[in-house]
Amino acid sequence: MEITITEHYDEMSKVSARLIAQEIHRKHDIVLGLATGDTPVGTYQELVRIHKEEGLDFSKVKSFNLDEYLGLAPVHKNSYNYFMWENLFKHVNINPENVYIPQGNIKDPEQFCVWYEEQIKKAGGIDLQVLGIGRDGHIGFNEPGSSFASRTRVKALFKQTIEDNARFFDKEEDVPRFAITMGVGTIMEAKKILLIANGKNKADVCAQFIEGPVTSQITATSLQLHNYANVILDNEAASKLKRIEYYNWVRDNKHLVQKEVGR
């Protein structure tokens, strides 16, 4: 895992958007895996700016969202479908036919999950998966105990997740109890992973998933087993890490690798 610690939320957003933009430049028909929530809002705003001011082209980009609340129609203002269109898709030149988001109000969720996995496969797999992290360590909605082999499926939300996400709803009772989510196994098959996190309330879980033991109780620890995972944190989310100096040294001295190789 490569750990980049940034000064604040804005810098975290800019650095992560730049990384995504570079990947889109490198492969115009890239397959992105995308997350919702508070964390990536700034990243998406910055991507919109890069699209508008620098011409970043989304016309061939395909995207698959991680998850959606079960029971919410795509037009519901708390649905992740609504979030993605409001925060990113409607501001860039993505082809709506290339946008895949789990459908919360689908009649047969089980069959839908199989279909969703097939579409990811048909697209050639996910090139770059963007992730946030829940305070319980979830990636997607892979709550504590989710198998590292899990695929897209319906998952019951953990109590802490329901409490955390209540801020988006009028009252806690309105938060759906289930979601459709890509599995840990689905996420781990992405060629590259980018996890972003900010704020004091993510400091404990960031220390646990980066420096703690691998466990399905904190599904983000699975990223320790991925061969290309980038983690970009703000100062607060990084504040409980033990090896900050080392991560910063690596970030600032990458250029030395070339020198060493040339010796």
Q: Evaluate whether 241 touches 206 at the Cβ level (below 8 Å).
A: yes
Q: Kindly state whether residue 39 participates in binding ligand F6R, applying the rule CB under 6 A.
A: yes
Cβ proximity to ligand F6R: between 109 and 134 the closer is 134
Whole-angstrom Cα distance, residue 111 to residue 107?
9
Q: Which of 67, 68, 117, 234 is catalytic?
A: 67
For 83-124, give the DSSP string.
HHHHHTGGGTT--GGGEE---TT-S-HHHHHHHHHHHHHHTT
Enter the tokens of residue 71.
């029971």
Local structure of residue 62 (DSSP, 8 states):
E
Active site residue 136: yes
172 binds ligand F6R (CB under 6 A): no
Q: Point out which span in 33-41, 209-217, 224-232, 245-253 binds ligand F6R (CB under 6 A).
A: 33-41
- 68, 127, 136, 164: which one is catalytic? 136
Q: Does residue 140 bind ligand F6R (CB under 6 A)?
A: yes
Known catalytic residue at 7: no
Tell me, residue by residue from 116 to 135, as one string, x for binding to ligand F6R by CB under 6 A and - for no binding: ----------------xxx-
Q: Are 224 and 1 in contact (CB under 8 A)?
A: yes
Q: How far is the CB of 80 from ligand F6R (least distance, A)?
A: 6
DSSP-derived secondary structure for 169-212: SSSGGGS-SEEEE--HHHHHTSSEEEEEE-SGGGHHHHHHHHHS
Q: Fill in the per-residue mask, 58 to 97: x = in contact with ligand F6R (CB under 6 A), - = not in contact.
A: --------xx------------x-----------------
Cα dihedral across residues 230, 231, 233, 238: positive or negative: negative
Q: Which residues are catalytic?
A: 67, 136, 138, 143
For binding to ligand F6R (CB under 6 A), which residues are involved? 35-39, 66-67, 80, 132-134, 138-140
